[in-house]
Amino acid sequence: MNPDELAPALAAALAPTLGNVTVAGLRVLTGGASRATWAFTAVTDSGPRELILRIGPPDEIHAGMRLEAAALTRAAAAGAPVPHVLIADDSAAALGNPFLVCDFVDGETIVRRIQRALDDASRADLLVQCAEALAAIHRADPAGIGLEESDQLEAWHGQLDDMADTTATFEWAFRWLAAHRPRPSPTVLVHGDFRMGNLIVDSSVRPARLAAVLDWELTHRGEVYEDLAWFCIRAWRFGAPRSLGAGGLGGVDDFLRAYEDASGTAVDRSAMHWWLVLSTLRWGVICRYQAERHLSGQTRSVELAAIGRRVCETEFDLLTLLESAS
């Protein structure tokens, strides 16, 4: 739908929740890899309310909108900073596609801008807030909302095999991971893409405040190490030095200690290293997959082709991690 068609349809969908409502100021914020995000103002009898609309494809391969809303609700109940969800629907009947509406949260998501706004004290404090938010997410009740659980090593190997393409470094990493697998730990609600870029940060205050954790379409049930390690791979430092290995905010061990303090659980450093290898390999497979979308003609895009060129970066990172484990 174009904005003129979308506004009345969205108002009708919101009416059972907000009553008499009109939709104004619809504007696209992003066109993400799988979902589009719109901002708008809901004008109600009690006044205007700033909201966000997320629209997904009808053939959704990630968590559905209702599942995402359920995960957000469970995370909020556990104390995680997340947007409040007003309505979520997996049906395409109302808006032509599945959708979710939540409160607008003010702040910044562009990492370079966040980095420029932080001093050393704010950076360290924000790192602790990220650890606390992740601990809260992992405390959330994962039962009864339909979260899927899968073997992450097998899943990413399978995705690479489906492309019928690999590299010697990737195969060595998969063999190392299979040979050195740590004992499994209890499963929890996992965000699945907890990283800088998916966090709203309010840097107008001191210390800077983690305002919200966004983009829950990869949520599932898994081990805490999956989220911890994903936050710490080089790609999500966005150019910050290795000493700031945890999201470009601080040291990895500082992050893990903050998580231990917030969660009351110990983090096995050996298991963490294994998951760092797997997370780095996961990013490499994703880069190769994005390139395949372009090369196959499925989605012709210079951006996807450029992401594909980052496969060699992940190979270097994998070799570095595997060398340190030997």
Quote helix, strand, coil % in the chain, to nearest 5: 45, 20, 35
What is the predicted pLDDT for the residue at 60? 67
Residue 296: predicted pLDDT: 86
> Over 70: is that where the pLDDT of 183 sits?
yes
pLDDT band, very low/low/confident/very high, at 34 (cuts 50, 70, 90):
low
Q: What is the mean pLDDT of residues 252-265?
A: 98
Q: Domains plus CATH for the chain?
A: 3-103 (3.30.200.20), 111-325 (3.90.1200.10)
Q: How large is the average pLDDT for residues 143-163?
A: 95
C-alpha span between 41 and 23 (Å, rounded) = 6
Residue whose structure tokens are 């390999």: 281
Check pLDDT > 60 for residue 33: no
Rounded average pLDDT over 121-134: 97
Is 81 in contact with 211 (CB distance < 8 Å)? yes
Beta pairing partners, 102? 52, 85
Closest by CA position to 134, among listed 182, 85, 79, 83: 79
Three-state DSSP class for 175? Answer: helix
